Amino acid sequence: MEALEAHKANEVVVLDLRRLSDATDYFVIASGTSDTHVRALAEHVEEALRAAKRRPHHAEGVTAGRWALLDFVDFVVHIFHPTVRDFYQLERLWADAPAVSVGAGK
């Protein structure tokens, strides 16, 4: 996701869940460096997708800044504070999902 990388998100990963889940097609997972950075990243993603006429079906945690979840139905964006990402380890939970290349990343 360009909006995440443009605003210095860390460790951006896209997991392809199409063969593993009926809930969504992709998880986009990224980290911010602080609660403020997590909030800002979530806001930037919403703004970028709003410009493309996409709004989240559901959003959680944006104001707290520890773990922001933006559900766009076809894909879900998870933006974590690093300690929260280490705790939940979504990449490990969804280890069967192939990662999709999204550019240089960090």
* Domain extents in the chain: 2-90
Which string of b and e fits 18-37 if b means at least 16 CB within 10 Å? eeeeeeebbbbbbbbeeeeb
Distance CA 69, CA 36 (A): 15
Distance CA 76, CA 26 (A): 6
Please report the pLDDT score of residue 103 as a whole number: 59
Strands of the sheet containing 26-31, edge to edge, are 58-60, 67-71, 75-80, 26-31, 10-16, 99-100
| H or E element, residue 87 | helix 82-88
Residues in the chain: 106
Full-model pTM: 0.91
Helix then strand count (H, E) for the chain reads: 4, 6
- In the predicted model, residues of the chain with pLDDT beneath 50 are 105-106
| H or E element, residue 11 | strand 10-16
For domain 2-90, give the CATH superfamily. Beta Polymerase, domain 2 (3.30.460.10)
